[in-house]
Chain A
Amino acid sequence: MAENIQFIPGSDACIEGALYAGCEFFAGYPITPSSEVAEGLSKELPKRGGKFIQMEDEIASMACVIGASLAGKKSMTATSGPGFSLKQEGIGYACMTETPCVIANVQRGGPSTGNPTHVAQGDTMQARWGAHGDHSIIAMTASNLQDVFKMTVEAFNLAETYRTPVVLMFDEATQHLREKVVIPEPGEIEVIDRIRTDIPVGEQYYPYLTDANGQRPMSDFGAGHRFHVTGLHHNLLGFPDVSPENVNELIHHLVDKIDSKANEIARYKEYYMDDADYVIVCYGTTTRSALQAAEDYRNQLGIKVGVLELQVVWPFADEIVREKCANAKAVIVSEMNMGQIVREVRRVVDQPEKVYFSNRVDNQIIKPADIKAALRMITGKGV
C-alpha cells in the first residue's frame, strides 16, 4: 500500500494523531491559535461515530472531557493562553480523580490576552504547577510536525497508562507551520487502550487499587461497577477519607506514580551529542533554531555543539539531563520565556554555573542568531 503522506499544518498533525490514538470525544471553546484543532475534530469525529461539542467556556470544556472519560471515551480538549488558565481547575480534578484525558495547549504570548497570534513558551511552569495542591502531571512538546503527530498519539497512551491528564505543549509556530507528515499504518505505532478492570460485575471493585502490574484498572460509568469519584481526599474505593494516613498515601501516590517513572516517561532526541563539548537544551519550536546554530558551529568552526531536545518536559528527566550534560563545557538552555526550564537544568546538572540562558520574549521565534550570540559569548568564537 502506498504511504499516506500528507502536507498539512501542525493543527492537522495533532488531529491526525488524536484520531490515530482513538480519540472519540472533544469538548472545547475557541481560542487562537488552537481553534483549528477544534474545527478539524468537529469535522472528523462524527465521521467515526465520535462526538464533538463546543461548550460555553474552557471550564465547562474541561469538565465535559472528564465526564466523557469517566464514561469510557478517550477524550481531549485544546486551548491557548487564558483558556489554559481556566482549565486548571478541571486539570486538578482530573489529577485527583485519576481520569485520563489530553489537553493541547497551543502556546501564545502572555500573560493575559497577550498576543493571540504569536509564539511563546511562557506556560511551561503553568503546565506543571497550574492546578493547586501537590500533584504531578505529564507535559510533552514537539518541534516538527511528524513529532506533533507522534507526541499526540503518545499523549493518549501515557494518559491511559498513568491515569492522568497529559498536556501537549505546542506553540503557535508549530501549529501554523506546514510540513510533510507520514501517517503510519494502524499498528505501526502502539496505541494503548483504556486499561479496564476484569473484576466481574457484582463483585467489589476498587477504582483506586493498584494491581500486580502497577496499574489501577478502570471501569466506565454504566459498565456495572457503580463506583464514586470525588475531588475530595479519598480512599481506594473513591470515598472521602481525610485520615492523615490515607491523605499521606494519596498525595504520595499522585506524585510518585509519575515522578518515579520519569525515566520511562521521558522522550527526547539527541542531535550531534556523541562528541559534543557544548550542549543546547531546548524543546518545541526552539529546537529548530538550536539545530541550525549547532550545525553552523560544527561546519564553519569545527566547534562541537550538540542539541538535546526534550519532548517530555514534565516530569523533568533529572537523571537523563544530568548525564547528557555531564561532559559539556557549557550548557545553553534556549526557550521563549523569561527562564523556566533553565531552572530545572540548573537544578539537576553537576555544575549549575556552566548553564547559560538564551531567550526571546518579543513574540518572535528564537533565531539561530540568538543562540549563536550565546555560543559566541561562551566559546569566544562566532559565525
Chain B
Amino acid sequence: MSDTQFDVNKYIRAQFFPQMWCPGCGHGTVMGALLRAIHDLGLENDDVSVVSGIGCSSRISGYLDFNTAHTMHGRALPTATGIKLANPNLKVIVPFGDGDSTAIGGNHFIHACRRNIDITAIVMNNRIYGMTGGQYSPMSGRGVKASTAPYGVPDESFDLVELAKGAGASFVARTTVYHAKEAQNTIKKAIEHKGFSVVEILSMCPTQFGRKNKAGEAPQMMEWYKDNTVPMGSKKLADNPDLIQRGVFVDDNERLEYCTAYQELVIDKVMKKG
C-alpha cells in the first residue's frame, strides 16, 4: 500500500496528451480511478501490464506508462492471457469497451471468466460504439437509438454482471463514473483479487449515445447514474427494485486461479513423475 501522494505524472505518458477523448467522455474518469487504484496498491509501473482492444475506451493503453498493448478489436483478453501465462508476476489489467468485450470479444470474455486467470477486466460500458460513430452494442438495450438503429434497438442487452457470474468469474462488480471514488476502490479490490475479476463501470458517451438518445450533456448523463443506480442490498433498492445495482456481487477466493492451476496440476505433477 502506498503512503505517498498520488501524482498522475508517475503513471501517464504525458507527451501523448491531450488524449483523443471528447470533452465529457466518461472514459477519462475510469482512467483516473484506475490510476488511483494502482497508486493505492503501491504497484510499480514495471510490474503492471495494461492490455486493451480497439475502441475509444481501448485507447487508454497508449496513455499509460506501463507495459502496454493496444491489440485487435475483441482480442485483448486472449493476448493478456498469453502475457499473464508467460509472466505470472505481471499484474495484467484489461480496460476495454462494451463492444470490444461483449460483442466481438464475447467468446473470449466468457472463457477468461471460466478459466479464472488472474487478470482484471474493466469494462468501460457506454452502451454504444463510440469510436465508429454510434452504432449499437450488445449493451445498448432495447429501444436505444443508435446510428444503426434509427428506430431503436430491437435486441435485448446483456447483463454483464450476470454474464460474468454465469461464466465463472471469481470477482464481479459494477459501479459508475459518477461514483468515482467507489470505482477507484472497486478496481483496487479487483486488482488485489487473485483470479479473474470483472468490473463493469457504467461510462458515458455524450457525443454518440447522449445526442442520439436526448440524454443531455455530460453532467445530465452523470446525474442519470446517480439517480438510477443503487448499492446492492440497500434500503433504496428494496424500495426501487428496478434500479441498477452497484456493488461487489462475487468475491470468491476459494476458486483455483488458472496460472496456479497450470503450475500445480500440470507442471508440478509432470516434474514429480520425472
A and B: interacting chains: yes
Chain A residues within CB distance 8 Å of chain B: 24-25, 27, 46-47, 49, 51-53, 55-57, 59-61, 63-73, 75, 89-90, 93, 220-222, 224, 226-232, 239-240
Encode contact with A along B106-124: 1 for CB under 8 Å, 0 otherwise: 0110010000000000000
Cα(A65)–Cα(B72), bound, Å? 14
Cα(A226)–Cα(B67), bound, Å? 4
Q: Taking the nearest CB of chain B, how far is it from the CB of A222, in angstroms?
A: 5
Pair B70/A229 contact, Cβ less than 8 Å: yes
- Would you call B86 an interface residue if the criterion is a C-beta within 8 Å of the partner chain's C-beta atoms? yes
Pair A221/B83 contact, Cβ less than 8 Å: yes
Q: Taking the nearest CB of chain B, how far is it from the CB of A171, in angstroms?
A: 27
Chain B residues within CB distance 8 Å of chain A: 13, 16, 45-47, 49, 51, 54, 61-62, 65-72, 75, 77-87, 89-90, 107-108, 111, 262, 266-267, 270-271
Question: Which residues of B have CB within 8 Å of A73?
Answer: 86
Cα(A70)–Cα(B54), bound, Å? 18
Cα(A59)–Cα(B73), bound, Å? 11
Pair A222/B87 contact, Cβ less than 8 Å: yes
Q: Taking the nearest CB of chain A, how far is it from the CB of B72, in angstroms?
A: 5
Pick from B61, B67, B86, B271: contact of A51, CB below 8 A. Answer: B86
Question: Which residues of A have CB within 8 Å of B90?
Answer: 71, 221-222
Pair B83/A59 contact, Cβ less than 8 Å: no
Cα(A25)–Cα(B262), bound, Å? 13
Cα(A52)–Cα(B258), bound, Å? 12
Is the contact region of chain A dominated by helix, strand, or loop, or is it mixed?
A: mixed
Is the contact region of chain B dominated by helix, strand, or loop, or is it mixed?
A: helix
Pick from A52, A221, A231: contact of B72, CB below 8 A. Answer: A231
Question: 19 A-B Cβ contacts within 8 A?
Answer: A25-B86, A53-B85, A57-B107, A60-B108, A63-B78, A64-B78, A67-B51, A67-B83, A70-B86, A71-B83, A72-B86, A73-B86, A221-B69, A222-B46, A222-B67, A226-B65, A227-B67, A230-B69, A239-B62
Question: Which residues of A have CB within 8 Å of B89?
Answer: 222
Pair A222/B49 contact, Cβ less than 8 Å: yes
Question: Which residues of A have CB within 8 Å of B80?
Answer: 67
Highest count of chain A CB atoms <10 Å: which of B62, B67, B77, B85: B67
A-B CB proximity, top 10 nearest: A67-B82, A71-B86, A60-B78, A63-B78, A64-B82, A68-B82, A221-B67, A230-B70, A68-B86, A67-B79
Q: Taking the nearest CB of chain B, how far is it from the CB of A223, in angstroms?
A: 8
Cα(A51)–Cα(B62), bound, Å? 29
Pair A89/B61 contact, Cβ less than 8 Å: no
Question: Which residues of B have CB within 8 Å of A70?
Answer: 69, 79, 82-83, 86
Cα(A159)–Cα(B78), bound, Å? 21
Question: Which residues of B have CB within 8 Å of A229?
Answer: 68-70
Cα(A47)–Cα(B71), bound, Å? 31
